[in-house]
């Protein structure tokens, strides 16, 4: 049975969660799937668990490889995937049993490059919160700048890859792959930006099919001070890849960088790093371009203050304004 959907799971030291994750994938009502488990150099019991799971279901393929980060692990899975469509799941999360059946139906019906579902944040106290704005829409992109303004900057196309179903031919034709985690932080953000440059049609659906477990200490669920530098590298890379979206890229860069800086201002080391970031020449460039393209007066004022006010005032603005943004 040839798979229609290939589901790629990068895994590193996930002995406590990976079986739960894989079982949720195997319960899919869409049966024509392959599950590609990439063991990214785990040092715990992950390898034995994956080999055991592979013996129970012929749809599972296991690759054991040297640790190079989840971005490279996903690329390995994409290279061997046989499905017409590709999905991604993180090893500490789970998915609804109807996720890929419904998303595949939407993709085929609309001849879409990408389908996005909603996400449920699951907290350790048992609380469930729907993460993204609730809306259903099929978007044919004719104006790339407008799409970036309305769907990327406003985070309607989310920055995760795990709530997407993507046509494999779309990825291969456009050479879209993940950047190495040794180079950038949040490689799925860059992956989404690269997709947004090339998407012709995307379908957004309300259904919250992806369960994102928030109490994990995994790479993707925490931010440390050193990773802010890798975020700057990410935006430098993307900025260099397009010439017509400079203003849109700048606005997204400032939004993401300032939100992340607001999360580290509670320590002396975090304050030191924030002071270093806000005076970087690339950040000043993004602030200036953001000022030029912002439509609301208050947003323009914030950009000007972040450009020209003393550093201590800049940090106050970041802590006051961006802490409350997602």
The tens digit of pLDDT for each residue in 94-152 reads 999 999 999 999 999 999 999 999 999 999 888 999 999 999 999 999 999 999 999 99
Least confident residue range of 195-199, 215-219, 281-285:
215-219
pLDDT at site 49: 98
Name beta bridge partners: 67. none
- Alpha-carbon separation of residue 80 from 8, 95, 212 (angstroms): 10, 22, 26
Give the span between the Cα atoms of 232 and 16, in whole angstroms: 33
Please report which confidence band the pLDDT of residue 226 belongs to, taking 50, 70 and 90 as the band edges.
Answer: confident
Mean pLDDT of 8-28: 97
- Ramachandran bin of 215, using left for φ above 0, alpha for ψ from -120 to 50, beta for the remaining angles: alpha
The beta-strand segments (E) located in the chain are 5-11, 33-40, 60-65, 85-88, 94-95, 114-122, 128-130, 137-140, 164-167, 201-213
- Residue 311, pLDDT above cutoff 90: yes
Looking at mean pLDDT, say which of 111-115, 265-269, 319-323 comes out highest: 111-115
pLDDT at site 21: 98
Mean pLDDT of 188-195: 98
pLDDT at site 220: 47
pTM over 0.85: yes
- Residue 197, pLDDT above cutoff 50: yes
Least confident residue range of 19-23, 126-130, 275-279:
126-130
- Residue 225, pLDDT above cutoff 90: no
- Residue 26, pLDDT above cutoff 80: yes
pLDDT at site 215: 73
Domain ranges of the chain: 5-221, 227-324
Classify residue 287 as exposed, middle or buried by CB count within 10 Å of its CB (0-12, 13-18, 19+): buried
Neighbours of 314 (CB within 10 A): 22
pLDDT at site 224: 74
244 within 8 A of 143, measured Cβ to Cβ: no
- Residue 219, pLDDT above cutoff 70: no
Tell me which architecture the domain covering 5-221 has in CATH: Alpha-Beta Complex (3.90)
Please report which confidence band the pLDDT of residue 222 belongs to, taking 50, 70 and 90 as the band edges.
Answer: low
Mean pLDDT of 62-69: 96
Give the containing element (helix H, strand E) for 170. Answer: helix 168-174
Please report which confidence band the pLDDT of residue 223 belongs to, taking 50, 70 and 90 as the band edges.
Answer: low
Q: 247 φ, ψ to 5°?
A: -70, -40
- Residue 315, pLDDT above cutoff 60: yes
Please report which confidence band the pLDDT of residue 275 belongs to, taking 50, 70 and 90 as the band edges.
Answer: very high
Give the β-pairing of 33-40 and 60-65.
parallel
Mean pLDDT of 74-84: 98
Mean pLDDT of 199-220: 85
Mean pLDDT of 184-212: 97
Q: Which two tokens stand for residue 174?
A: 């456009």
- Residue 210, pLDDT above cutoff 80: yes
pLDDT at site 324: 74
Mean pLDDT of 189-214: 97
- Alpha-carbon separation of residue 2 from 5, 58, 59, 249, 301 (angstroms): 9, 12, 10, 40, 56
């Amino acid at each position: 049975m040839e798979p229609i959907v290939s589901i790629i799971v990068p895994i590193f030291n996930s002995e406590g969660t990976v079986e739960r994750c894989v079982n949720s994938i195997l319960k899919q009502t869409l049966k024509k799937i392959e599950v590609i488990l990439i063991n990214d150099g785990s040092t715990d019991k992950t390898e034995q668990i994956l080999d055991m799971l592979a013996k129970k279901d012929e749809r599972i393929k296991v690759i054991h490889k040297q640790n190079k980060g989840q971005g490279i692990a996903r690329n390995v899975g994409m290279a061997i995937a046989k499905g017409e469509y590709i999905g991604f799941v993180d090893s500490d999360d789970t998915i609804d049993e109807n996720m890929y059946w419904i998303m595949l139906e939407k993709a085929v019906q609309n001849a879409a490059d990408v389908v996005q579902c909603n996400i449920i944040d699951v907290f350790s106290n048992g609380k469930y919160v729907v993460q993204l704005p609730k809306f259903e829409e099929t978007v044919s992109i004719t104006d790339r700048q407008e799409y970036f303004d309305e769907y990327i900057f406003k985070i309607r196309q989310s920055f995760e890859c795990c709530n997407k179903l993507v046509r494999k031919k779309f990825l291969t034709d456009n050479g879209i792959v993940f950047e190495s985690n040794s180079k950038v932080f949040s490689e799925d953000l860059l992956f989404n930006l690269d997709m947004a440059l090339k998407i012709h049609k995307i379908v957004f659906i309300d259904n919250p099919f992806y369960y994102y477990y928030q109490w994990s200490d995994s790479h993707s669920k925490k931010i440390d001070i050193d990773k802010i530098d890798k975020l700057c590298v990410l935006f430098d890379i993307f900025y260099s890849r397009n010439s017509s979206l400079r203003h849109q890229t700048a606005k997204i860069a400032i939004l993401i960088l300032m939100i992340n800086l607001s999360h580290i201002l509670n320590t002396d080391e975090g304050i030191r790093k924030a002071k270093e970031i806000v005076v970087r020449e690339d950040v000043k460039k993004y602030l200036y371009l953001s000022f030029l393209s912002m439509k609301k007066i208050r947003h323009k004022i914030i950009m000007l203050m972040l450009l020209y006010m003393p550093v201590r005032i800049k940090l106050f603005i970041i802590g006051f304004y961006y802490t409350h943004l997602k």
